[in-house]
Amino acid sequence: MAFYHTTPNQTKLYVGSGRVFIADVVSDPANAVWENLGTMSALAVTAKLATAQPSAVNGQHKKVVTEEGASIAFSMQEIDAANMAKCTGGLTTIEYVTGSAVSLTGDTAWKFAANTITVGKFYKFGNQSHSGTGGAIASPSSIVVTQGETTLTLNTDYEIIVDGFGEYGIVFKSGGSFDATAATAIAYTYTPIAKTIIHQGGKVTTTDKMVKIVNEQSDGRKIETIYYLCEFTEGGALNLKTDGSADLIDFNVTLEARNDTSKPVGSQLYEMALIG
């Protein structure tokens, strides 16, 4: 029978992949606005280190580090134009084309059955109006909220608010005409995006980004790694798959992380936090 010389410390063992986030470069990563790049079919981080050893005719020099970096390669399964533009360092330009306004009234109105609404709770509109510029979301228009023959009053019986993701919803209020025991219907008009067009070609520079990779264990422990300066170097196209296969079309890119010389020596490439 084999003799095991070491008992593993379970608190120092990690498994699994991670979530990938991207953000504009800021001096303090705590102030960055991180965008989750969603599910991926591949994710690999490869450290890069180059050394050199000066020559001498009558002695021997130590090797010195001449380059530090990392290659961050991933394939995004969620085809999102804004995130694709971020990953390619702004080489692409996005054009949003708005469609025709759609009115949801009568049988197509947004409906709540009696005794299903909680006062103060945020209910997001199932369809969001798009402004057609920058992919921004605009408030649905012509909103009419009714309960039977009663038409509720904006800012008295309900409010239209924007959540932290820039999306619109409705919050019902007490003290007015709103009746939680009654069925409620919300008629409104929204303008969808008809299509999103991604243009590329002609730009000669890219914008650096920050990348964060978070691995989280089932017991709450985390490894959070932030690369300060990442440059798009490869990829940027859709990978089509075989008909009939279970594989999803993905968008693969490679970002190269390099030292941020504005930071102290020894802390210029990345920061890795072991949490929990």
The predicted structure's pLDDT at residue 242: 95
Q: Is the pLDDT of residue 249 over 90?
A: yes
The whole-number average pLDDT for the span 50-54 is 95
Distances (CA, A) of 271 to 69, 123, 212, 216: 13, 39, 10, 16
- Residue 83: pLDDT band (50, 70, 90) is very high
The predicted structure's pLDDT at residue 136: 83
- Residue 190: pLDDT band (50, 70, 90) is very high
Q: Is the pLDDT of residue 164 over 90?
A: no
Q: Is the pLDDT of residue 133 over 90?
A: no
The predicted structure's pLDDT at residue 132: 78
CATH topology of domain 13-91+201-275: Pnp Oxidase; Chain A (2.30.110)
Q: Is the pLDDT of residue 142 over 90?
A: yes
The whole-number average pLDDT for the span 63-76 is 96
Helix (H) or strand (E) holding 200: strand 193-200
Alpha-carbon distance of 10 to 160, in angstroms, equals 49
Q: Is the pLDDT of residue 108 over 80?
A: yes
Alpha-carbon distance of 223 to 145, in angstroms, equals 47
The predicted structure's pLDDT at residue 13: 95
**Which residue in 104, 105, 103, 41 sits closest to 235, CA to CA?**
41
Q: For 191-230, how does the pLDDT look when each residue is reduced to its tens digit (9 = 90+)? A: 999 999 999 999 999 999 999 999 999 999 999 999 999 9
pLDDT over 70 for what percent of the chain? Answer: 100
Alpha-carbon distance of 66 to 108, in angstroms, equals 65
CATH 2.30.110 placement within the chain:
13-91+201-275
Which position has the higher pLDDT, 79 or 1? 79
